[in-house]
Structure 1
Amino acid sequence: MSDDILSHIPSLRAYSRVLCRNRSDAEDLVQETLLRAIEYAHQYKPGTNLRAWMFKIMRNLFFTQCRKSARERTGSTDCASERVSVGPGQEWHMMALEVRGVLDKMPAHYRETIVLVGALGVSYIDAAELLDCDIGTIKSRMNRARSILRMELELEF
């Protein structure tokens, strides 16, 4: 089971970066998610979607941390270790930043949906279960999120 959990680390990292928007917080969230998944492995039902189960753990941890951080104000925005000293020069990275900027402006429910379904390949059914909504809502959110991306990035399809 632990090998199966470890195989999902790249997907967990991608999803955590969407949730946290901060690399170090995202890595911490992945670590905490892995610890919880291993700690509560006995509660996992074999035959069900392990990746969706771990995403649910991550999402719950993230919202718990959000509630805690709302009560505990820290000076993390002033931390010098978070500042980039040398900017990237690759064109693909700049395009990714543009997409990231659009995703950051997008309402959270659209952003979560397009990342889960569009980027991480989670099925509509699993995304609906993970986000606690109907499959029709997921389809609608995907359509709207894609429209926002197209309009903001001026893409033609």
Structure 2
Amino acid sequence: MSDDILSYIPALRLFARSLCGRTGDPDDLVQDTLLRAIEKVESYTPGTNMRAWLFTIMRNRFYSQCVKLSRERPAAEDCASSVPVSQPVQYWHMRGKEVEAALLDLPQPYREAIVLVLVTGESYLSAAEILGCDIGTIKSRINRGRRQLRTALGEEV
């Protein structure tokens, strides 16, 4: 029989699936078995049945993990379920994308006024000078642009 560990991996995966069933990860068990075999390579006698040796290691590791898991108390103090839940950050990212899309859909005069005053922080007077119009026009464009943004974002006007 060959002492090439790699040739036994498919059989180890199959055996791991039969042991784990739906309760664990068979690939983790195979990896743990191979790691243990490498660590304990001095206990293997060349010329003996390596496949049986690997299966024995796997079975012993699986049952050791089962015993260990049965001793762990559920809802221990360091349990992950007791950690406070953080708020999802993707909501604000997606909301920002919606605002950006709604802003790009605005007519150009409204978009320019809103970006200058509300995004970049220019004063109404400065925005009026940049756009070459009256300050009242800037105020009107911002007001109308805000209403269109609220409508586009599904907020009450």
Higher RCO by CA contacts (8 Å cutoff, separation 6 or greater): 1
Tell me the TM-score range normalised by the shorter chain: 0.3 to 0.5
TM-score, normalised relative to structure 1: 0.43
TM-score, normalised relative to structure 2: 0.43
